[in-house]
Amino acid sequence: MRVYAHMPDHGTHTRQASCLIGGTDSTSPYRVHPQRVLENKWVDLGVFNFTGPPTVSLDSDTQDGTGDEDIAWDSVAFQPLSAKPKNFVVAMGDSYSSGEGATEPGGKDYYAESDYYDKAEPKSKNSCHRSKIAWSRQATLPGSSKSIGALADSRDANMDYHFIACSGARTFNILNTGRSGELAQLKQGYLDQNTSLVTLSVGGNDARFTDIITECVLSGIWNCQAESLDNIDPDNGEKTGGDTGGLDEWAPKWLHEQIRPRITATLKTIHDKAPNAEIVLMGYPRLLEDNGSCVLGMEDVEGKWVNSVADILADEMKGAVDDANSQYKAKAVLSDPRGVFTGKAVCGDPESVHGIVISGQAKADNDLPKPSMQSFHPKPAGARLYADSLEKTLKGE
């Protein structure tokens, strides 16, 4: 049966409400969903095989422990299914998975609970920015005539889909502590023995790609690859003192020694929780066409180097997949989108990746004069290219 909890349009605010589904044989019988959906809405908690009387209980004790956000639901529902769904899909990861930038101006395509900000309550901010047209929703699984999103929205009996990616996520936010007030993605409960497919992109924030772009585009420094960044803890991203030294020498070492093993560990943990799932680790495109000739402040040599970092990261991500498979039998595969984005990144034609975005900010976005979080993220057309990459990977192409 499929289980739903009804969220009222007011009085439901917490991002950490845990529902325990009783009477099921799931290895993960609890589910966490942000409650601030801002409408009367049935929220899908998942499909379960019940071996005893079905129950749902809501835990009012959340991990943040602050006690300053309302928690409620007013009803639950059970949808009988004639058979076990064919597909149990969980989409997780960072901004490239959440669909940052894949929206009409103003964040109109973001789910309300993932794009919320109240100046009077700044702690309530959620900028996970999960888009209704993210690539995991646009993609069509082999043998299906409808997209994953269309099947999920129509409550198709053969689809159980959950979307927990969050903009800005590092491997640390998947494994340990979440972002935007949400729990770590693996602590939200959506992976179990029934999960058949996990999609995720992760590694870009660990690789400090935003910091690199900021240094090379927004700082106005020429020959940015010779500059340095502040040292940070590779897990939580907090500054630790000192600096990296020249980026051109630091980046390959950082990606190989710090990021690759963290991606491997993430894939292992996903496999441990969803042992029957195929795991598709989605890579990142080269962000710049013509070495970023259309980007103010980007020199040719800098653009070439920025793209080279994307290539190095792709190699290390492939290595992480190989490590996870050889060491832990993780059933993981890398989907490399660089080919489908060729000619279509920033400065491309058609341009399917945002350059610097300074208008049309979402509700929970950077304040001007800082560029929008959408900057250097795929546009809706770019999300479609990502979906193409996933479809090719699932077909073994």
Q: What is residue 77's DSSP assignment?
A: E
Please classify residue 231 by burial: count the beta carbons closer than 10 Å to its beta carbon, then call 0-12 exposed, 13-18 middle and 19+ buried.
middle
- Name the β-bridge partners of 56: 21
Strand ordering across the sheet containing 197-201: 159-163, 87-93, 197-201, 278-282, 332-335
Residue with tokens 């770019």, as numbered in its chain: 382
Residues forming the active site = 95, 377
User: Within the chain, what is the greatest distance between any pair of CA atoms?
Assistant: 66
Cβ-proximal residues to 266 (8 Å cutoff; 6+ apart), any chain = 171, 174, 175, 200, 202
φ, ψ of residue 96 to 5 degrees: the values are -70, -25
Q: Which two tokens stand for residue 149?
A: 């999103």
- Residue 284's DSSP bridge partners are none
Q: Does residue 56 contact residue 19 with C-beta atoms inside 8 Å?
A: yes
Q: Which of 227, 216, 392, 361 is nearest to 288 (CA)?
A: 216
Pairing of β 75-79 and β 41-47: unpaired
Give exposure, 62-77, as e/b (b: 16+ Cβ within 10 Å).
Answer: beeeeeebebbbeebe
Q: Which residue has the tokens 């835990």?
A: 59
Q: Among residues 343, 100, 48, which one has the least CA distance to residue 210?
A: 100
- In Å, what is the CA distance from 6 to each residue of 35, 56, 181, 182, 356? 10, 12, 21, 19, 39
Distance CA 141, CA 83 (A): 19
Element (H, E) at 75: strand 75-79
Query: How far is the C-alpha of 241 from the C-alpha of 231, rounded, in Å?
Result: 6
Contacts of 397 (CB under 8 A, 6+ apart): none
Coil, strand or helix: which one is 267?
helix
